[in-house]
């Protein structure tokens, strides 16, 4: 599980002290250097080591971001943007020290254009807060990665989630951005128009850049109308293969399923214990259907028939909001449920994504691999788009266990890439998956990425040590 930032160097002590002195003069009490706060801004939910920044600035405006970047650029001090800290591959770590810009207080909804189904927000707005604000207008933002992440962070990591099979990913739902460059100037990447052929696609250049090319200060995003009827369903299967095959058939036959989530037997057991459910502890599909009452009923019927063909058991569905909420909350709490299976162990979360035709094969081989190496790792996935997650429970103080876990992670990625898939469906590269980028895309593509990085951030101050190995 090794990664290296060996080529990164911390700024000189005089440069760092000069930057912090200038930031203190500009921001006063909104500059924080206490160890506890700095560590809070480097936390990670994976095996990656904590690497705190030297200082944290609480930003409230775009001008605040600009001033931080300008001061840090003058002193050649790294700048690391922070949303809510839910990223999984070390994106918020500060391997070369520097200054973290906390964007949580930039949480204003600037404009809602209901007729055009879009809105303009600051990066610290969270998914749940936005949807609470929109509910009375009959609108919602559909991207749901599970965690109540900031939407700026979701854009920076090109997040996906449970609704991706119907509504797409962050990449598909962003119209325009305002981005602070490495020199403190602002780029506007687009307009509110639903399509454009005006120049390079700068919007999508910054979506998924993990703060390495610029810091997002404003987003214009697409909205959807709240469906007239929503039904949640569950269906148990005798095997993971049967559940995956049902998913494949549902997608191939064009059923407009909003969500299809796979939980293997170990994950169902964890969810039952944590969320006080009584689901059969066999592979399970959780589904959601959106539309009119007639649409939802028809979609549910069609999927039930497919599930039966693939060895599915009882197919149960409900439109009651409290039942739907309970089911999906259990899914969103899957990570914490997993940790309850082995108290004291660290949960090492990772994901891959493959073409849906290879999904069943990939999941089955992954389960066999886990059994062979003797590791407990429940599997859950947004399988409607071929994406699944493993959460290995490991004793990080046991060298043998860590060696086996490391080997499994490598084989998981190699397996996905060999099937035409990717090393990361939605977690991003960060620090944890740098080693797989060139294998997946080729040296020429990585070279092009390096050229972009140098062009936009010549002094490597924007979230250094992420995506591209230093």
Return mean pLDDT, the chain: 94
At residue 45, the pLDDT reads: 67
Instruction: Name the token pair of 265.
Output: 């037997």
Q: Give CA–CA dist 202/196, Å, rounded.
A: 11
Give whole-number Cα distances, 225 to 209, 222, 298, in Å: 29, 10, 20
**pLDDT, tens only, 153-196:** 999 999 988 888 899 999 999 999 999 999 999 999 999 999 99
Q: Give CA–CA dist 60/368, Å, rounded.
A: 50
**Residue 462 gets which letter from DSSP?**
B
Query: pLDDT confidence of 367, banded at 50, 70, 90?
Result: very high
Q: Which CATH number fits domain 229-335: 3.50.30.20, 3.30.2130.10, 3.20.20.150, 3.30.70.2190?
A: 3.30.70.2190
| pTM confidence score | 0.93
**pLDDT above 90 covers what percent of the chain?**
83
At residue 365, the pLDDT reads: 97
At residue 332, the pLDDT reads: 85
Instruction: Tell me the CB-side half-sphere exposure of residue 248, using CA atoms within 13 A.
Output: 18
Query: pLDDT confidence of 48, banded at 50, 70, 90?
Result: confident
- pLDDT of 5 above 80: no
Instruction: Tell me the CB-side half-sphere exposure of residue 214, using CA atoms within 13 A.
Output: 27
Q: Decide yes or no: CATH 3.40.190.10 for domain 337-418.
A: no
Q: Are strands 312-318 and 346-353 parallel, antiparallel or unpaired?
A: unpaired
Query: pLDDT confidence of 321, banded at 50, 70, 90?
Result: confident
- Closest Cα to residue 94, out of 40, 153, 32? 40
Q: What is the mean pLDDT of residues 334-362?
A: 91
Q: Give CA–CA dist 350/433, Å, rounded.
A: 10
- Closest Cα to residue 82, out of 118, 32, 142? 32
Task: Please enumerate, as own/partner, the contacts of 242-246 that have beta carbons within 8 Å and a separation of 24 or more.
Answer: 242/283, 242/310, 242/311, 242/312, 243/283, 243/284, 243/285, 243/310, 243/312, 243/383, 244/359, 244/360, 244/363, 244/364, 244/383, 245/310, 245/360, 246/285, 246/303, 246/306, 246/307, 246/309, 246/310, 246/312
The DSSP H or E segment spanning 269 is helix 265-275
Query: pLDDT confidence of 43, banded at 50, 70, 90?
Result: confident
**pLDDT, tens only, 397-436:** 999 999 999 999 999 999 999 999 999 999 999 999 999 9
**pLDDT, tens only, 220-272:** 999 999 999 999 999 999 999 999 999 999 999 999 999 999 999 999 999 99
- pLDDT of 88 above 80: yes
Beta strands in 312-446 (DSSP E): 312-318, 346-353, 379-382, 387-394
Q: What is the mean pLDDT of residues 12-33?
A: 97
- pLDDT of 2 above 50: no
| Residue 459 and residue 73 in contact, taking contact as beta carbons nearer than 8 Å | yes
**pLDDT above 70 covers what percent of the chain?**
98
Q: Give CA–CA dist 140/226, Å, rounded.
A: 6
Cβ within 8 Å of residue 297, ≥6 positions away: 231
Q: Which CATH number fits domain 109-225: 3.40.50.2300, 3.30.465.10, 3.40.190.80, 3.10.20.30?
A: 3.30.465.10
Cβ atoms within 10 Å of 228's Cβ, excluding its own = 13
Beta strands in 354-410 (DSSP E): 379-382, 387-394
Cβ within 8 Å of residue 67, ≥6 positions away: 26, 184
Query: pLDDT confidence of 456, banded at 50, 70, 90?
Result: very high
Domain boundaries defined on the chain: 109-225, 229-335, 337-418
At residue 162, the pLDDT reads: 85
Query: pLDDT confidence of 30, banded at 50, 70, 90?
Result: very high
- pLDDT of 77 above 80: yes
Q: Give CA–CA dist 126/67, Å, rounded.
A: 24
**Residue 150 gets which letter from DSSP?**
B
Q: What is the mean pLDDT of residues 203-231?
A: 97
| Residue 171 and residue 156 in contact, taking contact as beta carbons nearer than 8 Å | no
- pLDDT of 86 above 70: yes
- Fold agreement (109-225, 337-418): no
- pLDDT of 32 above 50: yes
Residues in the chain: 470
Query: pLDDT confidence of 470, banded at 50, 70, 90?
Result: low
Instruction: Name the token pair of 88.
Output: 């999984």
Instruction: Name the token pair of 366.
Output: 């992954």
| Residue 452 and residue 213 in contact, taking contact as beta carbons nearer than 8 Å | yes
At residue 150, the pLDDT reads: 97
Q: Give CA–CA dist 435/421, Å, rounded.
A: 16
Three-state DSSP at 262 gives strand
448 phi/psi in degrees, rounded to 5: -65, -40
- pLDDT of 4 above 60: no
- pLDDT of 1 above 60: no
């Amino acid at each position: 599980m090794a990664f290296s930032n060996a080529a990164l160097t911390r700024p000189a002590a005089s440069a760092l002290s000069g930057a912090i002195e200038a930031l203190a003069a500009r921001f006063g009490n909104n500059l924080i250097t206490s160890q506890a706060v700095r560590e809070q801004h480097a936390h990670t939910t994976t095996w990656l080591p904590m690497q705190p920044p030297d200082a944290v600035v609480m930003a409230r405006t775009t001008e605040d971001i600009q001033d931080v970047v300008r001061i840090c650029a003058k002193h050649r001090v790294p700048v690391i943007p922070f949303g809510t800290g839910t990223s999984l591959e070390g994106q918020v770590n500060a391997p070369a020290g520097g200054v973290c810009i906390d964007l949580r207080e930039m949480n204003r909804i600037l404009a809602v254009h209901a007729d055009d189904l879009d809105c303009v927000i600051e990066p610290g707005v969270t998914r749940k807060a936005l949807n609470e604000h929109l509910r009375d207008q009959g609108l919602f933002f559909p991207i749901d990665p599970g965690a109540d992440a900031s939407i700026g962070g979701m854009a920076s990591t090109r997040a996906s989630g449970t609704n991706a099979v119907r509504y797409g990913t962050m990449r598909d739902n962003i119209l325009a951005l305002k981005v602070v460059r490495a020199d403190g100037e602002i780029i506007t990447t687009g307009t509110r128009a639903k399509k454009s052929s005006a120049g390079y696609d700068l919007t999508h250049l910054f979506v998924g850049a993990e703060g390495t090319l610029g810091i997002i200060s404003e987003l214009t995003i697409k909205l959807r109308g709240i469906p007239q009827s929503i039904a949640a369903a569950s269906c148990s299967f005798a095997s993971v293969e049967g559940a995956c095959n049902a998913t494949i058939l549902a997608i191939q036959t064009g059923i407009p399923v909003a969500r299809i989530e796979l939980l293997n037997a170990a994950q169902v057991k964890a969810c039952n214990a944590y969320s006080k459910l009584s689901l059969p502890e066999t592979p399970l599909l959780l589904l959601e259907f959106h539309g009119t009452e007639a649409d939802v009923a028809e979609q549910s019927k069609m999927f039930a028939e497919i599930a039966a063909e693939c060895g599915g058991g009882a197919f149960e569905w409900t439109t009651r909001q409290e039942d739907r909420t309970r089911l999906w909350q259990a899914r969103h709490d899957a990570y914490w449920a997993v940790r309850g299976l082995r108290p004291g162990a660290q949960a090492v979360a990772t994901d891959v994504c493959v073409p849906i035709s290879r999904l069943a094969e990939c999941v089955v081989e992954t389960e066999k691999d886990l059994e062979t190496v003797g590791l407990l790792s429940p599997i859950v996935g947004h399988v409607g788009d071929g994406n699944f997650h493993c959460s290995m429970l490991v004793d990080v103080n046991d060298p043998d266990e860590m060696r086996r876990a490391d080997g499994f992670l490598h084989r998981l990625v190699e397996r996905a890439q060999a099937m035409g898939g990717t090393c990361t469906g939605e977690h991003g590269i960060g620090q944890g998956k740098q080693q797989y980028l060139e294998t997946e895309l080729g040296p020429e593509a990585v070279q092009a990425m390096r050229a972009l990085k140098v062009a936009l951030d010549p002094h490597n101050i924007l979230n250094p040590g992420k995506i591209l190995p230093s």
